[in-house]
Amino acid sequence: MPLLQSLADAAPPEPDEYVLLADDDLTFARQGPSAFLRFVAAAGLDIAQPAHVLGSHGTYENLEVRAATTARQVGYVEVGPLVAVSPRAQRLVLPFPAEAQMGWGLDVVWSGLARTQGLRLGVVDATPMVHHGKVGAAYDSEVERRLLDQNLAELQVASPHELSVTLPPRWRPWQRRAPWIVDAGDAMSG
């Protein structure tokens, strides 16, 4: 996270730009990052990730791709391997906390911000990804686990699994736009 923050500091996003946080060990199963960002913006999602395909190294079943679904709102978006952060959400989540080395627990903070600040968290099923690496395999996860536990305690939940739910309704492929978007202009406002 410090490296990502230094990149954001060196090239600050324009007021209308999304920030992408990406690992180097993922590929898209179908459409790529441009399509993913178009769906995120059209759905009015503030923090979002592509769904995981079967066989992808993910942590939460709720984040696996769902049939006949374009996108959906969820209670939890994992900090990796790919996350889009809207301009609105950037004002609340940047800069990243200095103690967040790999980002564990930031996703719990994001769930809290969804509750208190009305951020929309979501998964885009139309642009699924494959995460090739195992979570936490290349670094000491004990420090990360302590930060995660601290953030869980602050939100008063025992596990991210409690947050990992899909919220109705889902955006279906036959629907012109996400059903939670009341006005077409709402999707692009941040």
Strand residue runs (E) in the chain: 19-22, 26-28, 47-52, 71-74, 82-85, 121-131, 166-171
Q: Work out the mean pLDDT of the chain and round it to a whole number.
A: 90
Contact (Cβ atoms closer than 8 angstroms) between residue 116 and residue 89 = no
For residue 129, the 8-state DSSP code is E
Return d(Cα 37, Cα 32) in angstroms, integer.
9
Specify the residue for token string 């410090």: 2
Nearest to 21 by CA among 2, 38, 44: 2
Residue 39 is which amino acid? F
Average pLDDT for consecutive 10-residue bins of the chain (190 residues)? Answer: 90 94 91 96 98 86 94 95 96 90 90 97 97 68 85 93 95 97 55
pLDDT digits (tens, 9 = 90+) for 119-163: 999 999 999 999 997 655 556 678 788 888 999 999 999 999 999
Contact (Cβ atoms closer than 8 angstroms) between residue 76 and residue 62 = yes
Report all structural domains of the chain as residue ranges with CATH numbers, in order of start.
Answer: 2-168 (3.90.550.10)
Say whether pTM exceeds 0.85.
Answer: yes
Share of the chain above pLDDT 90, in %: 70
